[in-house]
Amino acid sequence: MSVIGKQIKKYCTKKGLTQEQLGQLLGVTTQAVSKWERGGTPDA
């Protein structure tokens, strides 16, 4: 897991958010959030 991935997961845990909820807040899909947590980069 990348540094940013760890930070996303830590934030979600701290705020009690699921990947789906974070995705809705950011206007992206659950799959995008999952990809970011695993170290993938955002699609252009």
- Between these two residues, 1 and 26, which has the higher pLDDT value? 26
pLDDT for residue 44: 63
Domain spans in the chain, listed from the N-terminal domain onward: 3-37
Express each pLDDT in 10-38 by its tens digit. Answer: 999 999 999 999 999 999 999 999 999 99
pLDDT of res. 1:
73
The tokens for 43 are 């699609």
- Tokens standing for 1? 């897991």
Which backbone phi and psi does 29 adopt, to 5 degrees? -80, 160
